[in-house]
Chain A
């Protein structure tokens, strides 16, 4: 088991290293330059050149990368080219915000989706199955900005039940913060429900049809025990993988949701950094999201081995 985990950790570090190179290289392809983006389209070229020089972005790309990566490895994410403040001062609070939103969304979407998927599988081919499948697919097909705006109009502006912004006033307690995060979390639930429920449904149908399930029924076990011990244990494996892969999206991919709910999440920070070619912020932001993603998939791998001993044994071999 330890060998398995160490190997996974090694892969994760290689992935992060490659990710840092890819992001740094692609950032060079972004149009414009930071000096022009900061000073504006009407600024004198000499002013733009002077600022680029001051920021050090006129140095060779490899030198810039080397400086950044060595600082990063020493725990220093550097200074934002755009805002001239330490990157961590901006990314830290944004990451915390993103984790809060992801947590609230996670709490709703995972149980709901699994419940929906299992229910659809148990009622396979009947009205309940079709209703859950079609509703889930329809919600997934609607773009998140449409879902978000509809939720804002209904629950924020017409019914006035929930705030239209996701940022709670400074000093708010946990309950108030959750209240502010409900609308964006619901928007995410609607986006992810169909996908996760569909995967759960497929896995459950396959497990229900498996020999070991039939054997369990023939042994005379009650349905609830068969579902809990034999069906879910196997059917949830793909669901765990899907939920883990969605963590990257939930943390760093919510630019649209963050914009509409005016939420200071890491997605907006990365987006703005890309817009302004703030490479230090962009690199650090993407790597943070990458780390979260790898941690999530790592946890998924561990859960896999816990839920399914066959995987654990094969890993140990």
Chain B
């Protein structure tokens, strides 16, 4: 350990560091955080790189490697195949992969989240919380210009976040609900913004990062519906033409604050068929495919001319079982029994190969540092499952209907579940709906507050859930008693209290403690089966350099080049 560095660090902690900074450094000192988790949490709380480096060196860890990356080869136009957005929308309404892929090439965020969930400065250079993380101050990057030519400043941030938190069409309302309301974003000066939160939230910077893909910064005078009509992001490439359902073209933005982007431009073609996407990459019609599926894109995985980009994340499926109906699923023993019939490692291998991992029936994915690893992993146990069924009064099983959507591998998962539960006598009827039918109807109001949409009201269903950088919105919306996406109609006051405490907790050990409580409650009650988490996959030809997939599907090309 470097004594001199340790002395300097101690001085800094005594005289300058905030309470939260000291908490995070304490966690490194105590061994609660390893090097990578420390960096991730330090960036979340906006601790400067110099302090992070000093702390690592002082405590004997390898320091930060901040060398400049190798210069990419300049020039060329990258041909990218992505999913067509269902509509011509504004970034704040993005609710689909195609929309966010299209927007993320031209737009930028206050903060950029990396694959390892580390937060990097983008349009904000620094962010610091007050003592209890209820007010966050962001310093903005000076000298940034929109592609329209106007300067970027705090008024643009206020307008963007007011729209995200206050416009009824915002697709980020659920993410900000209970955290930030319209009017809570205040300009302090032209390059400083304060976020006054509804409740203390330690992970707030993630909500301002690229993981909230609707939070692309737009000018304060942005005209709704005009994102695809005129360049007005701040990113390395400006959107110059867009044809719904066909494609989009981007040119290098010469005024980008990050300097001279490597590519001359980007040509996007929309693909709605997996076979066409696979052929396009193998036939070198495209250089990069934003999203591929393991099941349908198998020829890509064994081709030497193709590189696979995978992003480890928390994308998963939820098999929800209504806890409030007068049917066998009302009994936790039956729900547990169903969960115990699943051979999760085999399911993962079949559906995702090496690009997935078993779930443990809670939204705490292995990728989250807050996940309590001491909670035992649920495994297939037919003997126990049969015992539970008998104890619940269903030794010979029963009949039930499983409703789900025609999305990705979900129909295959439904068939696997149907086959698995036969072992405990359950006769399962599958109803596979189109996405439109599955999410159709109302989602609030009578009869029980969740409207009449199948995905929130059928006795048993499977729904697709995307990656989140922190599990907060899943906890508050899908598992909390009053959650708007609580498809199981699950209610547990102890769980609700733990959720609130978890969100406000600053120290990782506290977060893990509350997470452990919630994980154990969910493992017992089993309102939802989460059989696996899987990686977001993209693919490219071997001459694509500097690209990384994003767990949510953003296509970030500012540092991508062609060899």
Contacts and interface: CB of A to CB of B under 8 A. Distances in A.
Given A45-B451, A164-B280, A167-B269, A31 B434 contact: yes
Contact of A38 (B86, B173, B435, B484): B86
A64 B171 CA distance: 28
Contacts of A275: 434, 436
B122 to A, nearest CB: 25
Given A38-B87, A41-B455, A45-B444, A262 B169 contact: no
Contacts of B246: 264
B86 A276 contact: yes
A165 B436 contact: no
A202 to B, nearest CB: 36
B445 interface: yes
A165 B279 CA distance: 8
B96 interface: yes
A134 interface: no
Interface stretch (A83-91, A114-122, A289-297, A307-315): A83-91
A113 interface: no
B544 interface: no
A190 B174 CA distance: 51
B440 A165 contact: no
B95 A42 contact: yes
A50 interface: yes
Contact of A156 (B279, B433, B437, B438): B279
Contact of A41 (B271, B285, B439): B439
Interface in A63-87: 80, 82-85
Nearest to A262: B276
Contacts of A41: 435, 438-439, 443, 453, 455, 463
B485 interface: yes
A238 interface: no
Given A39-B93, A46-B168, A276 B273 contact: no
Contact of B440 (A36, A51, A160): A36
Nearest to B96: A40
A167 B79 CA distance: 14
Contacts of A276: 86-87, 436
B23 interface: no
Contacts of B443: 41, 43-45, 48
B434 A84 contact: no
Interface in A81-103: 82-85, 90, 93
B283 A269 contact: no
Contacts of B93: 38-39
A82 B89 CA distance: 9
Interface in B309-358: none
A275 B453 CA distance: 17
A36 B439 contact: yes
Given A32-B436, A268-B245, A260 B275 contact: yes
A30 interface: yes
A260 B273 contact: yes
B239 to A, nearest CB: 15
Contacts of B484: 44
Contact of B95 (A30, A40, A83, A164): A40
A40 B463 CA distance: 13
Interface in A248-288: 259-262, 264, 268-269, 272, 275-277
A93 B244 CA distance: 12
Nearest to A33: B440
| Interface size class, chain A | 35 or more
A90 B245 contact: yes
Interface string B446-464: 0000010101000000010
Contacts of B444: 44-46
Which secondary structure dominates where chain B touches chain A? loop
A37 B436 contact: yes
B440 A82 contact: no
Contacts of B171: 39-40, 42-43
B88 interface: yes
Interface string B173-209: 1100000000000000000000000000000000000
A164 B86 contact: no
Contacts of A149: 275, 279
A55 to B, nearest CB: 11
Interface in B460-510: 463, 484-485
B318 to A, nearest CB: 12
A90 B244 CA distance: 8
A50 B445 CA distance: 15
A262 B280 contact: yes
Interface in B245-282: 245-246, 269, 271-273, 275-276, 279-280, 282
A47 interface: yes
A269 B245 contact: yes
B448 to A, nearest CB: 14
A264 B89 CA distance: 20
B96 to A, nearest CB: 6
B95 A39 contact: yes
B285 A165 contact: yes
A261 B276 contact: yes
Contacts of A243: none
A12 B88 CA distance: 35
A152 interface: yes
Contact of B285 (A31, A82, A163, A269): A163
B169 A47 contact: yes
B225 interface: yes
B319 to A, nearest CB: 16
A31 B453 CA distance: 11
Contacts of A164: 279-280, 282-283, 285
B173 A264 contact: no
A277 B436 contact: yes
Contacts of B442: 45
Contact of A37 (B86, B243, B441, B485): B86
20 contacts: A31-B437, A32-B434, A32-B439, A32-B440, A32-B441, A36-B441, A37-B439, A38-B93, A42-B174, A42-B485, A44-B173, A44-B174, A45-B443, A46-B168, A47-B173, A82-B86, A149-B279, A165-B283, A262-B269, A275-B436
Given A46-B444, A260-B276, A264-B246, 6 more contacts: A31-B437, A41-B443, A47-B173, A83-B88, A167-B269, A259-B273
Interface of B: 84, 86-89, 93, 95-96, 168-171, 173-174, 225, 243-246, 269, 271-273, 275-276, 279-280, 282-283, 285, 433-445, 451, 453, 455, 463, 484-485
Which 5 pairs across A and B sit closest by C-beta, in order of nearness?
Answer: A40-B95, A41-B439, A32-B440, A31-B437, A32-B436
